[in-house]
Structure 1
């Protein structure tokens, strides 16, 4: 039965949930079958899809509370949708239709220091209520689902674990000209190690820097390149005193990230907690051999296509890094396996399974 689905999609704040909203909506539209109305702060992100959008302005990230709970309810009611999907952890306080919610992770409980006090207050108040309200709760990994089940005592039958996809453009190598232009633009050498992700406490970028220095590979001409947006209000001390051969590029557009992953045969993450790990899956799609921590959802994403260390420890990361640098054949084999594994995560499959959730919610 064809239904009218309302989707809340905050995409003006760069990060995993924004990528999820954009890519999932595009895949749902490709699949057809339902009508979609997207409530978003950035209508332009969906204009090419030819679907109905309702602009809900978001002046700053700190206004998400008013976006979710004061602006949305009336707009959702006016749009006369049959069900609503909140794609970023919470549902509006008032809803007149059944709903699904995607809970990306429970980092606000596991790593509270990564959030401002306002974010902590908002999520800790609304996450439990949203999970209780939702007919179905979607998580991007089995680990995130287990976290939700353990903390909120929700019935297992109301939850669905649906992995994120990897967009096809990450799997296609950039042109030689694009790669050369990227290196020239940022004055980068030929031997690069990448570390990508939103800069916030739980990503532990400082441990990657320490591991790089400990490994001694800078003496062989290797550079560590860090990229990602700074979490608002967070100013890590390491930004002021970067060691030699460590570069900070800040937030990069997708085409530049694409070039970085293709140029860096190794990508390192010291993150202690991930609901999925899009930065890792996108690096893998670029053929970069991944070194990461065997915790939270990371093993579900990396599998046997990367090097997992037991904990977020600079000594362990340095050892793994030195080994991969010293073993080019193993590095190349891991990169090939990483690309193949990343190709198994598709947004079309995520959309198919999400569509099944909509059918369950609608009954």
Structure 2
């Protein structure tokens, strides 16, 4: 079909970009180059313009709703469904793309491509609020059944869907996430503003990027780092970039203890421009997450020429290949030893930096969008 009308659920773009929101934006940006007649659905309205910024106090309003409304996920899902169906009726798109797990019930037949990033709500139930669990348990199987195609972001997640009997293999396509070309090595002169803002020294800190929540394994990282501080005379500081997530109280005690050491800095949510500089200015990047459907931060770090320490679990080895130092995320001793290795072995750091740059070049959003376009063409 020539110039089809593509409808994309871009609700995740209404808040600060991270995780699914970031992936949604990258796909929407690339798809509009292929399909100029693209429409964006933002939960409470739709538009032919792609947003890049958060919508006012949207996230604050959502958090209030979650706090005071009974069963907020299900109530908001119902409201979004009604508006979504009105959009279908009025705009008559040719295909719908749901980048965020759960497609809406429709009163009209429309081919639907749904992305499933991971199955942490099944594998690690303790990492999710009860309301989110109820929402996924109720709607995800229906969404999978209704979808024309399911896209996973790794072979690992595809295999999990098959092993859990949630989806037939022939219905699933794998498309790896990409890397924005903006992620590239940072020179020392380019690092000056970040260095001044956060009192950091170029190539003299370990970096973690991600939401501060249990799944990211902050508890073991902080425990290993405190052990590291006891076993070195010249410690490299640890920088944590990312907002506070759900159940951060699980590691609050260690976070406080690590902060009191004087060697741990918490930066909170940072802009993409600042993030690129932080990646490029780090001595090494560490990502000890228990579970990921893909694991974009270590790939971004590699694209910035930074050596990576990462977990040997879930999809992470699939993404990193031999371009990083893989550790058991449950073993604090192994994490500590990896920190020492990166600290002391200049040859290893240079070797992994080169391998990482080569590996990262295999992933691009342009390529990912083209693969998605091929799926679109086959299913309209």
TM > 0.5: yes
The residue correspondences of 1:1-363 to structure 2 (distance < 5 A) are 1-2=1-2, 3-9=4-10, 10-13=12-15, 14-30=17-33, 32-33=34-35, 35-40=37-42, 46=50, 59-60=61-62, 62=66, 65=74, 66-67=76-77, 68-96=80-108, 97-171=110-184, 173-174=185-186, 176-190=188-202, 191-216=204-229, 219-231=233-245, 234-235=248-249, 236-237=251-252, 238-241=254-257, 242-244=259-261, 245-362=263-380
Once the two structures are TM-superposed, the CA of residue 177 in structure 1 deviates from its matched residue by: 4.0
How far does the alpha carbon of each residue in 1:244-264 deviate from its partner, in whole angstroms, 9 at most, with x for none? 211111111111111111111
Once the two structures are TM-superposed, the CA of residue 11 in structure 1 deviates from its matched residue by: 1.6
Once the two structures are TM-superposed, the CA of residue 175 in structure 1 deviates from its matched residue by: 5.3
Once the two structures are TM-superposed, the CA of residue 234 in structure 1 deviates from its matched residue by: 4.0
Once the two structures are TM-superposed, the CA of residue 83 in structure 1 deviates from its matched residue by: 1.2
Residues 188 and 127 (structure 1), Cα distance of their counterparts in 2 relative to 1, 3 Å cut:
same
Q: Which 10-residue stretch deviates more, 306-315 or 258-267?
A: 306-315
CA contact (8 A) 2:119 2:157 kept: yes
Residues 6 and 45 (structure 1), Cα distance of their counterparts in 2 relative to 1, 3 Å cut:
closer
CA contact (8 A) 1:193 1:266 kept: yes
CA contact (8 A) 1:128 1:152 kept: no
Matches of 2:93 and 2:48 in 1, distance apart? Answer: 21
User: Under a length normalisation based on structure 1, what TM-score does the superposition of the two structures give?
Assistant: 0.90
Matches of 1:186 and 1:247 in 2, distance apart? Answer: 8
Once the two structures are TM-superposed, the CA of residue 283 in structure 1 deviates from its matched residue by: 1.2
RMSD: 2.3
CA contact (8 A) 1:205 1:269 kept: no
| Residues paired across the two proteins, number | 353
Residues 223 and 291 (structure 1), Cα distance of their counterparts in 2 relative to 1, 3 Å cut:
same
How far does the alpha carbon of each residue in 1:68-116 deviate from its partner, in whole angstroms, 9 at most, with x for none? 4343232233221011111101101225212110001001111112211
- Aligned to 1:81, what secondary structure does the other structure show? coil
Matches of 1:113 and 1:17 in 2, distance apart? Answer: 20
Could you tell me which runs of 5 or more consecutive residues in structure 1 were left unpaired when the two chains were aligned.
Answer: 49-56
CA contact (8 A) 2:180 2:365 kept: yes
CA contact (8 A) 1:265 1:335 kept: no
CA contact (8 A) 2:39 2:49 kept: no
Matches of 2:270 and 2:73 in 1, distance apart? Answer: 24
CA contact (8 A) 2:286 2:310 kept: yes
Residues 251 and 317 (structure 1), Cα distance of their counterparts in 2 relative to 1, 3 Å cut:
same
Once the two structures are TM-superposed, the CA of residue 321 in structure 1 deviates from its matched residue by: 1.5
- Aligned to 2:367, what secondary structure does the other structure show? helix
Residues 5 and 95 (structure 1), Cα distance of their counterparts in 2 relative to 1, 3 Å cut:
farther
CA contact (8 A) 2:118 2:292 kept: yes
Could you tell me which runs of 5 or more consecutive residues in structure 2 were left unpaired when the two chains were aligned.
Answer: 53-57, 67-71
Residues 84 and 198 (structure 1), Cα distance of their counterparts in 2 relative to 1, 3 Å cut:
same
How far does the alpha carbon of each residue in 1:302-348 deviate from its partner, in whole angstroms, 9 at most, with x for none? 10000112343211111112112111111111012112211211001
Residues 37 and 193 (structure 1), Cα distance of their counterparts in 2 relative to 1, 3 Å cut:
same
